Structure 1
């Protein structure tokens, strides 16, 4: 028999926290649901890619937090600061201790500017921009760019929306073409990775886009410092080879990085110092390094890599069985996106309700589904949907939109990104409906 008033405490009112609260209360009104969240505003961040390219209004991406908070949730407007999982309690910044029967941890991640010297001082100033922090500034930088080296770069940490650092590059290239400066522009994408995308079908399309746009890819490039004054981004370049050694350059006198770790080589200005490569830029767009928030990292809830230690299929904490975690903070080997959260939420909700009723979790399992809407130009998009194994798993519903192959560029996918997904987000997902 169900006992009354089980207390579910949720940390974080991003996509994950709001959806879990809304779906729990839809299924069981008798639950006491409390949510810890200090922010006044809730953002629809997927549209920031379009804001950075002048194709969407930033104001439209923000709503008051009070307007998305589900009815019946007790909103604790404070910061969570520490956990006592053996006592089933969380302490907040203002010193309050809140107890729970079940805890859902979904505070998202944070930007860690300190990991790259010079980044904190230079971000969102001059020609250093990031859609992650200020997409309006990105649009100013792209609009005012007059040619030269346009550098786009990705950090070595996991990031939310792994495709975002390259989407803005494709849009910028499109804009440069429209404004007639493409022929005096070299676009460089420097990434610590080894491939443009891990899903083979999507990679094939993106490499065609890279070739069409004549973009220089530089792999194995880990950003380690920003020198904003001299407009140089410093990289460590490491390529592990079978012998276990490191291939870096073919000839240190030429300042030319080994051609085997590049695609569409461009002779942009590169300095060498202390084994590092400094790419000179006239504009740079970057994604800051991203980590779990400090109060999570310092807690007993994390794995060795300092992400929330949850089961990959059930989202249940691996040590504390009445704790669940999902969204960007969770140690799940898939892309950190709102689309992933959309599939994780029903599993967390089902497991909590089953634990209340039967003292055991349900049988639903998360397969690692995530999705990256990869905008490849104004009016063009590819939709990468995949699972833990990087297997391409397109939604059958796309056929209703007359899209037979979402791994290819399509204008209807752009319409989905710009109009349908924001509508579904605010009107369905935030209201606890399964979409």
Structure 2
């Protein structure tokens, strides 16, 4: 009966329509001026912007998930500073009103025919396409995972199913090795694997267990952090807090029944080291979305092949990309998505007028490096790995105010700014705060 009532309301006046997502109506229309693939941060933000640009009835978003998560807060969830429930909201509440929500998974993209096929066999055609399909997590590429998550000492802040396991493992820690891994692949939020290490160190000090803990960061990278200015500060913290960093160590197996983690030494191919653990935080290997990888939109590796200046596809001019699924040579973060959304909006508006894109994306991204329960180093940088800081202070220094920005202001900015297509990054404010010098 409720469904019938909803259907009647949809058939009646257009006034009722504005209060519903058009997914509540049965519609035969399978062609859209703008089709957005993915309902993560990039997809929802661009859906909201496209609604304003071309009208809600011309826009559709394909996204199967019923829940939308603010993933950057999972760092704090894994350390017990925030709840998992606070990170999620129903997708229906963040979907731009009036925009068609296609509750399906993308199965195939055919840019030659301007069509997309979903997993239920539906074919949707488009005039323009925005691809925002994110990055794929591959826990299964580590032997013994994901089964190891059934054991109490293993967690991961990278999924809603495993983030609370990190907090449980931290609470139950008694003595021994606490190990934090970084995989030998691109990852989203490259600072997150070490943020939980700093928070765990702070928690163990607070609870009087630190003396019996050996905290270890085993990373596949040859550096602690990719930008030297911030890496220097992080090395100081590592030394001061007696944290052990093993560079070029890649997690390849978890033997949960024995509490053993096996790492390969990337500088000595074929050589492995076995570490016992009392707590293990796993950052999974990650890779391109298989739908993009299997399409003509991919580069040689499988990422969406876009122009790094304007986010337009290099081969198909009516296709655009945003966020983690692209081959943009910058860190994959929500802050990068915000800056990209403003540039992409400008690019599309120019192309709709048959004009050339005139704004360039500088690769801006940000990583608030949480170093304790009340301090953050706010790393901000561009394509060249040069700091691109918003505030006229040294952001490589640990600051309490930056923690409050990360924990309290940024979630608000995400839900009420970015997802509504109203926040395009701090660029304009940076100029203002630096008196026009940046």
Q: Which TM bucket (shorter chain)? A: 0.7 to 0.9
Mapped pair 1:422 → 2:411: yes
Shift of 1:406: 1.4
* CA–CA distance in structure 2, aligned partners of residues 327 and 124 of structure 1: 32
Contact 2:335–2:365 (8 Å) recurs in 1: yes
Deviations 1:53-98 (A, max 9, x none): 1111211111110110112311111011001111000000000110
Contact 2:293–2:303 (8 Å) recurs in 1: yes
Deviations 1:356-404 (A, max 9, x none): 211x441111111110000000100000000111101101xx35xxxx2
Contact 2:114–2:126 (8 Å) recurs in 1: yes
Contact 2:45–2:419 (8 Å) recurs in 1: yes
Greater shift in the superposed pair: 110-119 or 184-193: 110-119
Q: Which of 377, 398, 405 is 2:372 aligned to?
A: 377
Q: Which of 299, 303, 318 is 1:303 aligned to?
A: 299
Unpaired segments ≥5 residues, structure 2: 1-30, 425-438
Contact 1:124–1:130 (8 Å) recurs in 2: no
Shift of 1:206: 0.5
Deviations 1:1-59 (A, max 9, x none): xxxx9700000010000111111222343771111000111111111111111111211
Unpaired segments ≥5 residues, structure 1: 240-245, 249-273
For residue 352 of structure 1, what is the aligned residue in structure 2? 348
Q: Which of 316, 319, 323 is 1:323 aligned to?
A: 319
* CA–CA distance in structure 1, aligned partners of residues 409 and 366 of structure 2: 15
- What is the TM-score of this pair, normalised by structure 2? 0.87
Contact 2:56–2:97 (8 Å) recurs in 1: no
* CA–CA distance in structure 1, aligned partners of residues 245 and 418 of structure 2: 36
Change (3 A) 1:70 1:218: same
Q: Which of 131, 139, 151 is 1:113 aligned to?
A: 139
Contact 1:352–1:361 (8 Å) recurs in 2: no
Contact 2:312–2:320 (8 Å) recurs in 1: yes
Stretches (4+) displaced over 3 A: none
Mapped pair 1:166 → 2:178: no
Change (3 A) 1:164 1:66: same
Greater shift in the superposed pair: 168-177 or 302-311: 302-311
* CA–CA distance in structure 1, aligned partners of residues 242 and 412 of structure 2: 35
* CA–CA distance in structure 1, aligned partners of residues 347 and 283 of structure 2: 34
Q: Which of 393, 398, 416 is 1:409 aligned to?
A: 398
Q: Which of 13, 30, 51 is 2:39 aligned to?
A: 13
Q: Relative CO higher for 1 or 2, CA cutoff 8 Å, sep ≥ 6?
A: 1
Contact 1:152–1:165 (8 Å) recurs in 2: yes
Contact 1:193–1:220 (8 Å) recurs in 2: yes
SS of the residue aligned with 1:10? strand
SS of the residue aligned with 1:81? strand
Q: Which of 255, 258, 269 is 1:227 aligned to?
A: 255
Number of aligned positions between the proteins? 392
Matches within 5 A, 1:360-399: 360-395=355-390, 398-399=391-392
For residue 136 of structure 1, what is the aligned residue in structure 2? 164
Shift of 1:131: 0.7
Deviations 1:166-199 (A, max 9, x none): 0000000001111111111101100010111111
Task: Compute the RMSD of aligned alpha carbons.
Answer: 1.5
For residue 334 of structure 2, what is the aligned residue in structure 1? 338
* CA–CA distance in structure 1, aligned partners of residues 197 and 419 of structure 2: 30
Change (3 A) 1:30 1:233: closer
* CA–CA distance in structure 2, aligned partners of residues 432 and 124 of structure 1: 39
For residue 151 of structure 2, what is the aligned residue in structure 1? 125
* CA–CA distance in structure 2, aligned partners of residues 374 and 302 of structure 1: 31
Shift of 1:347: 1.7
Q: Which of 28, 48, 53 is 1:27 aligned to?
A: 53
- What is the TM-score of this pair, normalised by structure 1? 0.87
* CA–CA distance in structure 1, aligned partners of residues 264 and 134 of structure 2: 28
* CA–CA distance in structure 2, aligned partners of residues 30 and 432 of structure 1: 14
Deviations 1:128-165 (A, max 9, x none): 11011222111111011011000000111111111000
Mapped pair 1:434 → 2:423: yes
Shift of 1:412: 0.1
Deviations 1:325-351 (A, max 9, x none): 110111111110000000111222222
Shift of 1:120: 1.8
Contact 1:102–1:352 (8 Å) recurs in 2: no
